[in-house]
Structure 1
Amino acid sequence: MTENSSQTPDALDGLSYEEAREQLVAVVGRLEAGGASLEESLALWERGEALAKRCEEWLEGARKRLAAAREPGNAPE
């Protein structure tokens, strides 16, 4: 596995959306390619789930910021 795949879930908090998405795409690619052992496949799956959650957190934060910006009185002049 790559050095990024050994990061703990807490280490994912420091990833930008783009970094998390890039790593998620790599994990999916490795799973789709096959050839990994069952143990490695499970670890990749778990990492993919954690990365997907991190991406969702970023997107939810962006949604909240947009909603706040659209509220009356918050629009730029």
Structure 2
Amino acid sequence: MTDQPASPHADVKSLTFEKALAELEQIVTKLERGDVPLEESIAAYERGEALKAHCSRLLSAAEARVEKIRLGADGQPAGTEPLDVD
């Protein structure tokens, strides 16, 4: 039995949006070249899927925060409400 982490992409959750997106872009470029061996391509694709899901979650959370901004009668921000995080 090998000493592998529970998920080979567990570290993705600790990446910022910018770092995850940059890595995803590198993977796409690498795969588009088409000179990557099959097994490496599959692993890169799986990592890309994990990065894409992480970016999507981060964007959804940011969108929810933006939607919480309330505007006053004068159109200026009157305050914010805390983001409800489960």
TM-score class, shorter = 0.7 to 0.9
Q: 5+ unaligned residues in a row in structure 2: which ranges?
A: 1-6, 80-86
**Structure with the higher fraction of residues in strand conformation:** 2
The residue aligned with 2:52 is 52
The residue aligned with 2:78 is 75
The residue aligned with 1:8 is 8
**Structure with the higher fraction of residues in helix conformation:** 1
- Larger Rg over CA atoms: 2
TM-score between the two structures when normalised by the length of structure 1: 0.79
The residue aligned with 1:40 is 40
TM-score between the two structures when normalised by the length of structure 2: 0.71
Aligned length: 69
Give the CA RMSD over aligned residues.
Answer: 2.0
For CA contacts below 8 A with separation 6 or more, give which structure has more relative contact order: 1
Once the two structures are superposed, residues 14-52 of structure 1 have per-residue CA deviations (whole angstroms, 9 ceiling, x without a partner) of: 100000000000000000011111101100110110011
Q: 5+ unaligned residues in a row in structure 1: which ranges?
A: 1-6
**Identical-residue share of aligned pairs (%):** 36
